Amino acid sequence: MMGWYDGGHMGGYAPVMWIFMLLFWVALIALIVFLAVRLFPSDKHPTGAAPTGVQETPAQILDRMFATGQLDEETYRARRSALAEMRGEGNVGQDR
């Protein structure tokens, strides 16, 4: 009985078919990995904000944290004045 798997009837194209099948699966897996990386980025900013490529200054970080409610007003003012003292700016930012 001759089965479909009898190597004689394929005319010598079996190795070529195996190569194309292997290339197909490699390309499919690569496409899935590429799409997963693009749709679900893993590099998160430590504060939870999306990375924008622009570095925030310490004053901007404090302003953002105060604006989002992560800091109360007393803590914000204390940190803002400590930051100004470290920079030698005096009372900059105290009027906010």
Which of the two residues, 46 and 69, has the higher pLDDT score? 69
For residue 52, count other CB atoms closer than 10 A to its CB.
Answer: 8
pTM: 0.39
User: What region does 8 belong to: left with phi over 0, alpha with psi -120 to 50, or beta?
Assistant: alpha
62, 83 Cβ separation under 8 angstroms: yes
83, 58 Cβ separation under 8 angstroms: yes
Q: How many helices (H) does the chain have, and how many strands (E)?
A: 3, 0
Q: What is the pLDDT of residues 49-96, one digit of tens each?
A: 555 667 888 889 999 999 999 989 999 999 999 988 988 865 555 554
Give percent above pLDDT 70 in the chain: 68
CB under 8 Å to 60, separation ≥6 — which residues?
Answer: none
Ranges of each domain in the chain: 7-39
pLDDT of residue 26: 97
